[in-house]
Amino acid sequence: MRLYPEKLAQDLARTLHRVYLISGDETLLVQECADQVRAAARRGGCNERHVMDSSDRSFNWQDLTQDASSMSLFAEQRLIELRIPNGKPGAEGSKALQEYLAQAPETDTLLIVAGKIDKASTNSKWYKAIDQAGATVQLWPVNADELPRWLEQRARSISLSIDREGLALLAERVEGNLLAAVQELEKLRLLAGDSTVSAKQVAYAVANSARFDSFALIDVALSGRAGDSLRMLHGLRSEGIQPPALLWGLVRELRLLRGLLQAVEAGQAPMQALNGARVWKSRQGVIQAAMRRHSVASCEVLLSLASHVDGCIKGYAQGDPWEQTEWLVAGIARDGQPGLARSA
Q: Final residue of a domain: which of 138, 167, 195?
A: 138
In the prediction, which pLDDT does 290 show?
94
- CA–CA dist 311, 58 (Å, integer): 13
Amino acid letter for position 121: S
- 342 belongs to a structural domain: no
Nearest to 102 by CA among 132, 63, 122: 132
In the prediction, which pLDDT does 207 show?
63
**What are 238-250's pLDDT values in tens digits?**
878 888 888 988 9
Question: 97 with 185, same domain?
Answer: no
Q: Which of 17-26, 49-58, 172-181 is the most confident on average?
A: 17-26
Q: What is the mean pLDDT of residues 269-297?
A: 88
Given CA atoms 79, 84, 88, 89 in this order, what sign does their dihedral have?
A: negative
CATH number at residue 11: 3.40.50.300
**Residue 14 neighbours by CB under 8 Å, 6+ apart:** none
Question: 225 with 264, same domain?
Answer: yes
- 343 belongs to a structural domain: no
**What are 178-225's pLDDT values in tens digits?**
887 888 898 888 887 778 998 888 877 776 554 346 777 888 899 998
Question: 270 with 202, same domain?
Answer: no
- 271 belongs to a structural domain: yes
- CA–CA dist 121, 89 (Å, integer): 10
**What are 140-179's pLDDT values in tens digits?**
888 878 899 999 999 999 999 999 999 988 887 776 678 8
Question: 19 with 133, same domain?
Answer: yes
Give the C-alpha distances (Å, rounded to integers) separating 138 from 29, 47, 117, 124, 141.
Answer: 10, 26, 8, 16, 10
pTM over 0.75: no
- CA–CA dist 203, 229 (Å, integer): 25
Cβ-in-10-Å burial (0-12, 13-18, 19+) of 91 comes to exposed
Give the C-alpha distances (Å, rounded to integers) separating 86 from 33, 40, 129, 227, 316.
Answer: 18, 26, 19, 30, 20
- CA–CA dist 215, 30 (Å, integer): 20
- 332 belongs to a structural domain: yes
C-alpha Rg value of the chain to the nearest Å: 21
In the prediction, which pLDDT does 338 show?
46
- CA–CA dist 310, 296 (Å, integer): 21
**What are 115-142's pLDDT values in tens digits?**
888 888 889 999 999 999 999 999 988 8
Q: What is the mean pLDDT of residues 57-61?
A: 86
Q: What is the mean pLDDT of residues 94-110?
A: 87
* Average pLDDT of the residues of the chain: 86
CATH number at residue 233: 1.20.272.10
pLDDT confidence bin for 66, thresholds 50/70/90: confident
- 304 belongs to a structural domain: yes
CATH number at residue 195: 1.10.8.60
Count of domains observed in the chain: 3
Asked if 26 and 143 count as a contact pair (C-beta separation under 8 A), the reply is no
Question: 41 with 97, same domain?
Answer: yes
- 38 belongs to a structural domain: yes
Question: 32 with 156, same domain?
Answer: no
- 344 belongs to a structural domain: no
Kindly state the DSSP code that residue 198 receives in the 8-state scheme: P
In the prediction, which pLDDT does 216 show?
79
Question: 152 with 81, same domain?
Answer: no
Count of beta carbons in the 10 Å neighbourhood of residue 66: 12
Question: 38 with 131, same domain?
Answer: yes
Return contacts of 60-66, CB within 8 angstroms, 24+ apart.
Answer: 61/89, 61/92, 61/93, 61/95, 61/96, 62/96, 64/96, 64/97, 64/100, 65/96, 65/99, 65/100, 65/103
Question: 200 with 115, same domain?
Answer: no
Question: 121 with 160, same domain?
Answer: no
Question: 315 with 194, same domain?
Answer: no
Question: 196 with 230, same domain?
Answer: no
- 112 belongs to a structural domain: yes
Enclosing domain of residue 330: 214-337
- DSSP-assigned beta bridge partners for residue 136: 2, 21
